[in-house]
């Protein structure tokens, strides 16, 4: 998926935020509870929609569905200061917002930059759901608690082994002992 610099940077920050929400300090799944907590605290988070939107977007985690992927692909390729950056009025006709998220959207839209934030939230959720190049948490869970499969993983395992072997070879040439010795 081709993304503008704006969405490239924010999607990485959003992925990191979701990673932080996935589990508690004991490694137990905490995503559902932490998302509910963010939703309850929306009023206090609204101050961050301009300078740290990735911290507020989790309020809308899984709130959007995207019947028009082509239009969303075009939206994530725009910069906020471009003339073609969509307005919330235009984008909201291309996405479906879950009923449970409607009160949260109304609270956000009451803010001066709420419309631009809603565009950003929808685009980040689109990237999270559909960008195959986006980093994915191994622990990311579906609503029913099952882990979401992301490919078979064989290619990544081979790449990791190749990289580890190359690193081990390089360390050997630098005078360090090989891990495989």
CA 164 to chain CA centroid, nearest Å? 28
Taken in order 103, 31, 47, 92, the sign of the CA dihedral is negative
Helix axes 114-130 and 5-22, enclosed angle (nearest 10): 70
| Residue found by looking up tokens 């449970």 in the block | 100
Which residues lie below 8 Å from residue 132, measured CB to CB, with a gap of 6+?
A: 1
More confident residue, 101 or 171: 101
Residue 140, token pair as written in the block: 């990311």
pLDDT bracket for residue 132 (50, 70, 90): confident
pLDDT bracket for residue 163 (50, 70, 90): low
In the prediction, which pLDDT does 173 show? 61
Cα separation, 106 vs 126, in Å, equals: 20
* pLDDT, average across residues 141-167: 47
Cα separation, 75 vs 86, in Å, equals: 7
DSSP helix/strand/coil, 23: strand
Q: What is the mean pLDDT of the chain?
A: 83
Percent of the chain with pLDDT over 70: 73
Q: Are 56 and 117 in contact (CB under 8 A)?
A: yes
In the prediction, which pLDDT does 177 show? 61
In the prediction, which pLDDT does 143 show? 41
Residue 171, token pair as written in the block: 């360390």
Cα atoms found within 13 Å of the Cα of residue 17, Cβ hemisphere only: 22
pLDDT bracket for residue 25 (50, 70, 90): confident
């Amino acid at each position: 998926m081709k993304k503008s610099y704006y969405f490239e940077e924010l999607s990485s920050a959003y992925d990191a935020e979701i990673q932080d929400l996935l589990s508690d300090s004991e490694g137990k799944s905490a995503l559902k509870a932490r998302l509910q907590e963010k939703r309850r605290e929306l009023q206090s988070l609204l101050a961050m929609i301009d300078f740290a939107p990735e911290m507020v977007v989790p309020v809308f985690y899984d709130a959007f569905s995207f019947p028009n992927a082509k239009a969303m692909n075009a939206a994530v390729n725009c910069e906020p200061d471009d003339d073609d950056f969509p307005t919330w009025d235009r984008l909201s006709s291309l996405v479906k917002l879950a009923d449970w998220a409607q009160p949260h959207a109304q609270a956000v839209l009451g803010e001066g930059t709420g419309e631009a934030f809603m565009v950003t939230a929808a685009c980040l959720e689109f990237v999270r759901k559909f960008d195959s190049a986006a980093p994915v948490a191994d622990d990311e869970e579906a609503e029913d608690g099952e882990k979401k499969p992301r490919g078979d993983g064989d290619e990544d395992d081979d790449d990791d082994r190749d990289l580890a072997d190359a690193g081990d070879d390089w360390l050997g040439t630098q005078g360090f002992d090989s891990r495989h010795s």
